[in-house]
Every structure is written in C-alpha cells, then in structure tokens.
A and B are shown apart, each in its own frame.
Chain A
Amino acid sequence: MQKITREQLIDKASKLLSNGTVSCVLGWKLGDFDYDVTPAVFNTVEELNEGFVFNDFCGANFSKYLVAKTGKVDGKILVFLKPCDTYSFNQLLTEHRFDREKVYAVGIPCEGMADIAKVKAICGEGVLAIGTDGEKMTVATLYSDEPALIDAKDVLAERCENCKSKKHVAYDELLGEEGDVIESNRFDEVAKLEAMSADERFAFWQNELSRCIRCNACRDACPACTCEKCVFDNPTSGVENKSPANSFEEKLFHIIRAYHVAGRCTDCGECSRVCPQNIPLHLLNRKFIKDMNEFYGEYQAGAEVGMRAPLVDYTTEDLEPGEVFDRRDTDA
C-alpha cells in the first residue's frame, strides 16, 4: 500500500550514514510477525540491510525518541517522519525538548497504516504473514491454506481513515511528493458522543475506561508525554498511583493525562494505537482539541514551531466555563 519502499529508505539511510551526515538511524525493525514492527536504532549499513523494515504497520511516531536519543548520540540522528509525525516533531521543538541541530529529518509519504485488529477481524486469528499487492493485502493465517486477499483500505487504522494531513510541516529532506492538509471528519465521533445524554456518555466511558489495565502504554508512546518525571510515577506528587485501584482511578489518570497534553496533543493517535485494550483514548484528546478549536479558534499543535497553545494564552473576551454548556444546550 505504501508508495515508498523499504529499499528506497535503506538507500537514503545508507548514503547519509556513509557520507557521515548522520551517525545513526531511527527506523523500524521487524518483530516476530509482519505486523509487530518496533522502533529501533541502526548504526551501520549492515544493520540496516539486515533488520530495517518498512510496511503498513510502521505506525510508530519517532519524534518522541529524539528527546532521549539526541542527548546520548554524538553527531546527527536520521529520523524518518510521516506527515503526522512532523507535527509532533514541531511541537517538541516548541517545547525545547531536543536539539534540532542533532537531527536530520527525512519526510516520507504515508498512505495510511493498517490496524492489525481490523485484519484479524476479517481474516481471523493466527495471522502468520502479511504481504502487499497494490491496493490489496495478502494475509496468510494458521487456519487457512490459501492466503486471503483483502482491500488495504478496509483495514486502515482509525487515525489514518481520519488523516488530518499528508503535508509535512518539518523536514530537512523530503522523499516522494508533498501532500496537503486534509479536511478530515476526525471530530465526528466526538460529536456523536456529545449528542448522547450524560447517562449514555457515562456508560460509554465507564465501559471503555474500566478495561484500562494501567499499563501506561498510552503515556509511554505519546509524543506529548515526555516529562522527565511523570506525576503518576512520582511519589512526591501526591497523585502517584501505579495501578488502578477502582473505577475512578482510571478516569483520574486519563483525564489528567488528556489535560496535561491539551493544546500540545497533535492528534497523532499513538495512544489508541498502542492501547492493548483498544480503548479509544484519542477521543479524549480530540474532545479537548475540538473544544479549544470551537472556543478559541482553530489551533493545530505542531503546525509551526513556537506557537502558543490555547491553554497558555487568553483573550479578555473568552467565553465563561458556564457558557460552554449554555452554548451546547441552545444548539441542541
């Protein structure tokens, strides 16, 4: 499905490694299966040829890795950034989280990543190998003799169905063609929830959040959650809590996490991608984004470096917290 190939990326990375532009490469490495691709650091051309992959499951947003990695490496790091990753990249620069000089960013086009849960929903469990063939995907499973042929667009991840931009907002070099910002329908789900009654919403979130096992994957993958010390891990914060003790704890964790990234969240969707319980966490972040867009004007975190997020800004004419509901109630 991707227009750019593994070979092209390895070729680019090898050249930059060989001519000394960069000293290491942040890329994707194959796991046990085609779909459990993980982020990895490659130091040599040999390592690249051996382990580097690029397929429809290379969803990981590398921006966050730069925070830790730039402090440790001499020389530049080559990072491949999909359009949505570049927003996180800019946002982290806005927050001074890494040294831009230590990064060589190569923008790569993205046709949307696949969601293994959707593949399994169609082809069943026991997925062994996934191959691509244009707009189609071949899926070999334990339980069938013939690989299934499915439409790639049927298994597109939610965040890619609602892709907000194919345009890179930051890069040193771009591979392939530049795309555009997309008028997506990413707030439709939020609007649907808003239209429900309070009881229905409570039931919805109770059902979703009660599945949370507090594995912290959402936080650990989130490119906005780069705190040196997270309040939930910090015994001196007063809210430290490593596992959910009851139904409220998860809400507290997720509300506070969403609040902490509000105005900084670029809506990259990593939280929902990595959630082992498939909780639609992006719906929390999108609620904040949608609200702030409606209350204070359109704002896309990371669209440019140095922007001032809505929650660290104000106008004297802002609406009152009570008016938020008045507005909605009159709309309804």
Chain B
Amino acid sequence: MQRVGVFVCWCGSNIAGTVDVEAVSEALKNEPGVVFSTNYQYMCSQAGQDMIKEAVKEHNLTGIVVCSCSPRMHEATFRKTAAAAGLNPYMVEIANIREQCSWVHKDILTGTEKAIILGKAAIAKVNLNAPLTPGESPVTKRALVIGGGIAGIQTALDIADAGFPVDIVEKKPTIGGKMAQLDKTFPTLDCAACILTPKMVDVAQNDKIRIFSYSEVTDVQGFVGNFEVTIKKNARFVKEDICTGCGACVEKCPMKKNPNEFNLGMDNRPAIYIPFAQAVPKVATIDPNACTMLKKGKCGLCSKVCTAGAIDYTQKDEYLQEKYGAIVVATGFNPISMDKFDEFAYSQSKDVITSLEFERLTNAAGPSAGKLIRPSDGKHPHTIVFVQCVGSRCDACAQKGKEYCSKICCMYTAKHAMLTRDKYPDTEVYVFYIDVRTPGKNFDEFYRRAVEEYGVKYIKGMVGKVTPEGDKLKVQASDLIANKQLHIDADLVVLAAAIEPDKSARPLATMLTASMDTNDFFTEAHPKLKPVESPTAGVFLSGACQGPKDIPETVSQAGAAASKVIGLLCKDKLTGNPCVANSNELMCNGCSACANVCPYGAISYEDKEFRMPDRTTKVRRVASVNPAVCQGCGACTVTCPSGAMDLKGFANLQIMAEVDAICK
C-alpha cells in the first residue's frame, strides 16, 4: 500500500476562488492510502515545494498527489520536487483543478465537489503507480545519408562539419543527383554545375565523409542511436581505389551504343563509362548488360588500356555491415512516366520531350553541347510549346498522374521559357498553365520578367492534344481567358512532368519502419513542428523524398535534418520516455496485432521457452517492446486481447481505477 500525500494548491485565488480548498484537502484525507493532506497558497513556489519535501520525509510518503493547475504546466516541476525529496519522480500525479475545474465552473459548491472527485481519481491512480526509470541506450556517433543528391550532399557536409563521420549511400555511380543534370537554376540563373560540383568535391575531400556509390541499403536493424545497416556495393568491375578516372577505357571501349542515362537516353555511352566529367567519385563503371567481356568473355580492351590496372572483371557484389546512430533519407524524386499521357504524343514524336530532357538539351555538357535543337532532325525550333501540370494536380478519379502539385514546374518552365527567348529571340514561346504558382523569394518577380521582359506567351488553359504532322506538332489547346480554341504549329513541345518519389523509397521505408503517405512520400513526425523528423526515432528526412521541393528549400531542409542529427549524435546516451509499452510474456499470444498498429516499429517477436505447470517446456512466440523506440501512444495495448500489452504510467488498471473513482 502506498503512503500518499495530498497537496491542494490555492493558486492564489485562481483555484481558491471557486473551490473550497480546505474542504478538498479535508475530504481527501480519508481516501485509501492517504496519510497526509494539506493545502497551501502556491504549491509551485519554493515554499510550497519545500512543504512537499518535508512531508515526504516526515510521513514517509511513497506517492504524491498535487491538486493544482494542469499537469502540462507543472507536472515537471513537481516531479523534480519529488526527486529532490528522494522519491521516484513518476510517483507524482496531478489533479487538474484549475484549468479543468476552478476556471470553468462558477459555483463554489460544484467546483469543490468536482475538485474532490478529480483528487480521488488522482489518488486512485497514484496508488497503482510504480517507480519508473527511463531507459538509456548508447549512441553510435556516425550518420548514414541515403541518397547523394543535393539534399544528401548538404546534409552530409553539415554533419561532417560538426565533426561527426557520415556515410553517403548512392545507388548511381556518382553523387550529384538530379541537380547535376540541370542547366541553370531559378531564380538567379546561375549554372547548376557551378554551384553543385564544388560541393561534390568538398564531399570527396572531406575525411569525415565516406561515399558508397553504386550501392544500396538492403537491410536496417536496430533503433535510434543503434542502427545496424547492411549496404550492398554493386560490382562495378573497376577497382575504385585504383582507378584514376583518366577515361582511356571509356574512349577505347568498342561497345559505344548504349543509351546514356545521364542524358536521359538522348545520346549514347560506352559499356564502360563515367557518367559526367565532374563525377564523384570519378571512377569508371562497367555496365554488365553491355560489356561483351562480362557477357561472352571476349574483348578485354579496357583492361589492356588501363595503365593503373583498375579493371577487375571478377569483381562481385559486396555486402558491408555498418553501425549508425542516425539515418537521413534523401532518396529524392523522378519525373513520372509519360506512358499514360498519350494525348501529348510523347511516345510518337522525338520532339515531344519532358522538362528534364529539355534541361539536358540546353546544358553545355548535354547531348547537343547546349544548342537548343529538335531531337528528331537537329534543326533549331522556332515555336516551342510548354505544357504545365502534366500529371500534377490530377483528378483522383482520372487514374493517371498525381493529385498533388509538383511545386517546381512553374518556376523551371518560366526559366526554360526565359532562357530560350534570351538565347534565341526569334523563337516563339507559349506556356499553357492552370495556375502559375510562384510563392518564393524573388519567384514572382522572376516569372513576371519572363512575361514582361522576355515576351513569353502565357496562356491560361490546357493543351488537349498534340498531333505530329510532317515535321510539325499540331497543338490543340484552349485559352480560357479569351474563351477560344487555339491551334499552334509547334516545333518542340515540352511537358512539365509531375515528380514522384524515387521507386527505392517504398522498400526503404519498410526497412526503416518509417511511414509514407499514399503517394510514397515519407511522412514527417509532425507536419508543422517536426518537418524533418520521421515518426521513427533516429530517422530524418531531407529533400524531395518528403514532398516536392526546389533547391533552396531542399538545401534548407537538408541543413535542418543535419542539425537534428548533430543534436542526436552529440549525446552520449539517449534517455527515453519511461512511459512506454511493455508486454507480459506470460500472457502474450504472439499474434502480431500490436506490431501491426505500432507506428514506430518498436515491437519485435522472439521464440521463447516457457516452463509449463506440468514441468514440460513449450516454445512460444512473444512480443517484446524496445523502450528506446516506443513513444508510448498505447495503440498496441488496445489491440491486445489478452491484455498482455500494457503502458507504463497509463496502465489498464490505473485508468480503470480513475474511471471507478470518478463514477463512484
């Protein structure tokens, strides 16, 4: 049996004005377990706290009930008081008789009556309280960044800058991501490579950062502070540490006709390749599907020309086990496939391209060396039609495209239109849009410049159909403002394809037990207040994997994610919330219902041997909760039919005792 002390606070007249505090402390004296009951003007004051401490000593109290303001206000205060008096801080319960009683009831009789009942409920609960100790777990002081685009790069640099080692896992042969493929960046029109490649070099030269390129994460175990990650290094058939990136092999390779992924298949690359000149790591990679040496055992030219001796046709996929304290997801985005948008004739004409393809066409390092040409005949296009929102903001019923706004298309289309008019003033440029959305610093000014200074023809309305006819593309569209149909003979049509999360995100989310929305974007722990944390402790989000984002936003989120990681890695030990779920394995059925509803993946199962009453042993599957991961919501407790799963601090019996006390 507990020895409970009850302390009723007047809160000046805040409580005492509508609650007879004397009557409350008097009435609660006779409750089960109560050995001491008093009231005082300001319980939270130093004098009030001292009064509690003294009472604990004098009356050997094991539990404390404070009838005062909301626990959201002073629960922490009184827990500290209890700790100072030598009690476990979780032996304190608060009866909220201010916000939820004296302040909302005018009549002193009803106020007092209710305060007594709330006090009784708190006493009933504290009688069942048990001392709780927050769990502690160590922190591996190393971070993993999954994805090596601008988001991953910035996060890694910021974490490394604070002195913590970071590994980047990138599935492509080089880091750089989508930004490396861009030409210029809005709204300043500085070239993407000029601002990205120095950062890539920084990453390569930073001794705190390791890059696992051409690699992927295949398994994640553990929890915040203690993740164990399996990384698969795909065989690139070139020894990374030896290759100097001289490019001799690339030049000599006879298998030259393979679609170049970096230029979105608009030109070709050899079987052995370096994606682009500034690639990091600058190391060649052999495409096993194109190399005749790997396929048929014939050729071996690259090996012969490689003076460093870096080619290794026998290289195998390699699996590495690494430990991390925190994981940042930066898996980025891709434009959606245009398969379902036949009306724009994407599959029929080479001159209907996506915006990302347009980026490569205007990029000095692209397939046309920066000359804006028609992919079909290499001629300069004189009329270009840009179509906005292709697959963005779609009707859910249409079963194609995405419901959300891809956010970046309005701005990059304005950029494309502007750059085209700037370089080729003889080109007519039309942009068809639903709305122009430019809410960013200097964004609207940028768009207006495209219209006002560069004479880009913005037309509100959608393109209904594109029909290739001869060397022209017949564009049928509607102008909603003029309320008429338009027919334009275009040379080039550019589709602002919606963006979607990378396909690797979904399996990764499963490994991380991080949650995703229906569009496969990672969900943040709180949409406003925890935008870079995933609900899974120790997993953070950076860049477009969380939602469509432009570069400035991505970089700022990357920095925010890095600061959260640094904050975590700075700690030597993690102290958890002790109010976590725990499973009584004697009652557990091992049915997995609790794990199904756990938003944090905190519950795992093991087969355990049990001694049965008849002295035999039985192996049963039982749940165990990782207290470092559990956040204490209690969802699991209700799914558990046997009641094996319970929540510390809010146990079934405690809540039922409160119910009983209130309903007496």
A and B touch in the complex (CB under 8 A): yes
Most interface-central of A308, A312, A316 (chain B CB within 10 A): A312
- The distance in angstroms between the C-alpha atoms of A159 and B538, with both chains bound, is 51
- The distance in angstroms between the C-alpha atoms of A309 and B641, with both chains bound, is 14
Q: Is A228 touching B643 in the complex (CB atoms < 8 A)?
A: no
- The distance in angstroms between the C-alpha atoms of A261 and B587, with both chains bound, is 17
**Chain B residues whose CB sits within 8 angstroms of the CB of A230 once the complex forms:** 642
Taking the complex as formed, is A251 at the interface, i.e. its CB lies under 8 A from any CB of chain B? no
Q: Is B639 touching A228 in the complex (CB atoms < 8 A)?
A: no
Listed stretches A25-33, A125-133, A207-215, A231-239; interface member:
A231-239
Q: Is B596 touching A308 in the complex (CB atoms < 8 A)?
A: yes
Taking the complex as formed, is A118 at the interface, i.e. its CB lies under 8 A from any CB of chain B? no
- The distance in angstroms between the C-alpha atoms of A316 and B597, with both chains bound, is 14
Taking the complex as formed, is A71 at the interface, i.e. its CB lies under 8 A from any CB of chain B? yes
Q: Is A97 touching B589 in the complex (CB atoms < 8 A)?
A: yes
> Quick one: which of A113-154 are within 8 Å of B by CB?
none
**Chain B residues whose CB sits within 8 angstroms of the CB of A47 once the complex forms:** none
**Chain A residues whose CB sits within 8 angstroms of the CB of B642 once the complex forms:** 227-231, 234
Q: Which residue of A lies closest to B653 (CB)?
A: A238
**Chain B residues whose CB sits within 8 angstroms of the CB of A226 once the complex forms:** 589
Q: Is B597 touching A228 in the complex (CB atoms < 8 A)?
A: no
Taking the complex as formed, is A96 at the interface, i.e. its CB lies under 8 A from any CB of chain B? yes
Q: Is B589 touching A260 in the complex (CB atoms < 8 A)?
A: no
> Quick one: which of B589-632 are within 8 Å of A by CB?
589-593, 596-597, 605, 616, 618-621
Taking the complex as formed, is B652 at the interface, i.e. its CB lies under 8 A from any CB of chain A? yes
Q: Is A312 touching B652 in the complex (CB atoms < 8 A)?
A: no
Q: Is B656 touching A238 in the complex (CB atoms < 8 A)?
A: yes
* A249 → B minimal CB distance (Å): 15
Taking the complex as formed, is A74 at the interface, i.e. its CB lies under 8 A from any CB of chain B? no
Q: Is A97 touching B591 in the complex (CB atoms < 8 A)?
A: yes
Q: Which residue of B lies closest to A261 (CB)?
A: B641
Taking the complex as formed, is A95 at the interface, i.e. its CB lies under 8 A from any CB of chain B? yes
Q: Which residue of B lies closest to A239 (CB)?
A: B656
Return the contact of A234 from the options B518, B587, B591, B597 (Cβ within 8 A).
B587
Taking the complex as formed, is B87 at the interface, i.e. its CB lies under 8 A from any CB of chain A? no
Contact with A along B633-664 (1 / 0, CB 8 A): 00000010111100000001100100000000
- The distance in angstroms between the C-alpha atoms of A72 and B616, with both chains bound, is 9
Taking the complex as formed, is B586 at the interface, i.e. its CB lies under 8 A from any CB of chain A? yes
Q: Is B597 touching A238 in the complex (CB atoms < 8 A)?
A: no
- The distance in angstroms between the C-alpha atoms of A303 and B656, with both chains bound, is 36
Q: Is B596 touching A312 in the complex (CB atoms < 8 A)?
A: yes
* A111 → B minimal CB distance (Å): 33
- The distance in angstroms between the C-alpha atoms of A239 and B656, with both chains bound, is 9
* A226 → B minimal CB distance (Å): 7
Task: Decide: A228 near B592, CB < 8 A? Known: A96-B621, A234-B643.
Answer: no
**Chain B residues whose CB sits within 8 angstroms of the CB of A196 once the complex forms:** none
Q: Is A71 touching B590 in the complex (CB atoms < 8 A)?
A: no
Return the contact of B641 from the options A72, A260, A308 (Cβ within 8 A).
A260
**Chain B residues whose CB sits within 8 angstroms of the CB of A309 once the complex forms:** 593
Q: Which residue of A lies closest to B517 (CB)?
A: A316
Return the contact of A71 from the options B618, B652, B653 (Cβ within 8 A).
B618
Q: Which residue of B lies closest to A229 (CB)?
A: B587
**Chain B residues whose CB sits within 8 angstroms of the CB of A228 once the complex forms:** 586-589, 620, 642, 644
Q: Which residue of B lies closest to A308 (CB)?
A: B596
**Chain B residues whose CB sits within 8 angstroms of the CB of A313 once the complex forms:** 596
Q: Which residue of B lies closest to A315 (CB)?
A: B518
* A89 → B minimal CB distance (Å): 15
- The distance in angstroms between the C-alpha atoms of A71 and B618, with both chains bound, is 6
Number of A-B residue pairs, CB cutoff 8 Å, is: 59
Taking the complex as formed, is A191 at the interface, i.e. its CB lies under 8 A from any CB of chain B? no
Taking the complex as formed, is A311 at the interface, i.e. its CB lies under 8 A from any CB of chain B? yes
Q: Is B639 touching A311 in the complex (CB atoms < 8 A)?
A: yes
* A208 → B minimal CB distance (Å): 23
Task: Decide: A229 near B586, CB < 8 A? Known: A96-B621, A238-B653, A238-B656.
Answer: yes
Q: Which residue of A lies closest to B128 (CB)?
A: A238
- The distance in angstroms between the C-alpha atoms of A228 and B618, with both chains bound, is 12
Q: Which residue of B lies closest to A236 (CB)?
A: B653
* B597 → A minimal CB distance (Å): 5
**Chain B residues whose CB sits within 8 angstroms of the CB of A311 once the complex forms:** 639
Q: Which residue of B lies closest to A311 (CB)?
A: B639
* A260 → B minimal CB distance (Å): 4
Most interface-central of B586, B593, B639 (chain A CB within 10 A): B593
> Quick one: which of B554-594 are within 8 Å of A by CB?
586-593
Q: Which residue of A lies closest to B594 (CB)?
A: A312
Return the contact of A95 from the options B589, B618, B644 (Cβ within 8 A).
B589
Contact with B along A86-124 (1 / 0, CB 8 A): 000000001111000000000000000000000000000
Q: Which residue of A lies closest to B659 (CB)?
A: A238
- The distance in angstroms between the C-alpha atoms of A226 and B589, with both chains bound, is 8
Q: Is B643 touching A231 in the complex (CB atoms < 8 A)?
A: yes
* A309 → B minimal CB distance (Å): 8
* A216 → B minimal CB distance (Å): 15
Q: Is B619 touching A96 in the complex (CB atoms < 8 A)?
A: no
> Quick one: which of A270-312 are within 8 Å of B by CB?
308-309, 311-312
- The distance in angstroms between the C-alpha atoms of A148 and B620, with both chains bound, is 51
Return the contact of B592 from the options A71, A96, A227, A229 (Cβ within 8 A).
A96
Task: Decide: A96 near B590, CB < 8 A? Known: A228-B642, A237-B652, A312-B597.
Answer: yes
**Chain B residues whose CB sits within 8 angstroms of the CB of A95 once the complex forms:** 589-593
* B301 → A minimal CB distance (Å): 51
Q: Is B641 touching A231 in the complex (CB atoms < 8 A)?
A: yes
Return the contact of A96 from the options B591, B641, B644 (Cβ within 8 A).
B591
Contact with B along A179-200 (1 / 0, CB 8 A): 0000000000000000000000
* B521 → A minimal CB distance (Å): 14
**Chain B residues whose CB sits within 8 angstroms of the CB of A308 once the complex forms:** 596
**Chain B residues whose CB sits within 8 angstroms of the CB of A231 once the complex forms:** 641-643
- The distance in angstroms between the C-alpha atoms of A234 and B588, with both chains bound, is 13
Q: Is A227 touching B597 in the complex (CB atoms < 8 A)?
A: no
* B636 → A minimal CB distance (Å): 10
- The distance in angstroms between the C-alpha atoms of A236 and B642, with both chains bound, is 11
- The distance in angstroms between the C-alpha atoms of A236 and B590, with both chains bound, is 20
Q: Which residue of A lies closest to B598 (CB)?
A: A312
- The distance in angstroms between the C-alpha atoms of A71 and B639, with both chains bound, is 25
- The distance in angstroms between the C-alpha atoms of A323 and B434, with both chains bound, is 35
**Chain B residues whose CB sits within 8 angstroms of the CB of A71 once the complex forms:** 618-620
* A181 → B minimal CB distance (Å): 25
Q: Which residue of B lies closest to A91 (CB)?
A: B591
Q: Which residue of B lies closest to A256 (CB)?
A: B641
> Quick one: which of B211-262 are within 8 Å of A by CB?
none
- The distance in angstroms between the C-alpha atoms of A238 and B643, with both chains bound, is 10
* B591 → A minimal CB distance (Å): 4
Q: Which residue of B lies closest to A262 (CB)?
A: B641
**Chain A residues whose CB sits within 8 angstroms of the CB of B587 once the complex forms:** 227-229, 234
- The distance in angstroms between the C-alpha atoms of A312 and B618, with both chains bound, is 28
- The distance in angstroms between the C-alpha atoms of A216 and B108, with both chains bound, is 49
- The distance in angstroms between the C-alpha atoms of A316 and B396, with both chains bound, is 15
Q: Which residue of A lies closest to B652 (CB)?
A: A238
**Chain A residues whose CB sits within 8 angstroms of the CB of B652 once the complex forms:** 237-238
* B615 → A minimal CB distance (Å): 13
* A5 → B minimal CB distance (Å): 37
Q: Which residue of A lies closest to B616 (CB)?
A: A72
**Chain A residues whose CB sits within 8 angstroms of the CB of B518 once the complex forms:** 316
Most interface-central of A230, A231, A309 (chain B CB within 10 A): A231
Most interface-central of B592, B620, B642, B653 (chain A CB within 10 A): B642
Q: Which B residues lie at the A interface, using CB under 8 A?
A: 518, 586-593, 596-597, 605, 616, 618-621, 639, 641-644, 652-653, 656
9 extra interface residue pairs, beta carbon distance < 8 Å, beyond A95-B589, A97-B589, A312-B596: A71-B620, A95-B591, A229-B642, A230-B642, A234-B587, A237-B643, A237-B652, A239-B656, A312-B597
Q: List the 3 closest A-B pairs by CB distance, nearest first.
A: A95-B591, A227-B642, A260-B641
- Mind listing 21 A-B residue pairs with CB under 8 Å? A71-B619, A71-B620, A94-B592, A95-B590, A96-B605, A96-B621, A97-B590, A227-B641, A227-B642, A228-B586, A228-B587, A228-B589, A229-B586, A229-B642, A231-B643, A234-B587, A237-B652, A239-B656, A261-B641, A309-B593, A312-B596
Q: Which A residues lie at the B interface, using CB under 8 A?
A: 71-72, 94-97, 226-231, 234, 236-239, 260-261, 308-309, 311-313, 316
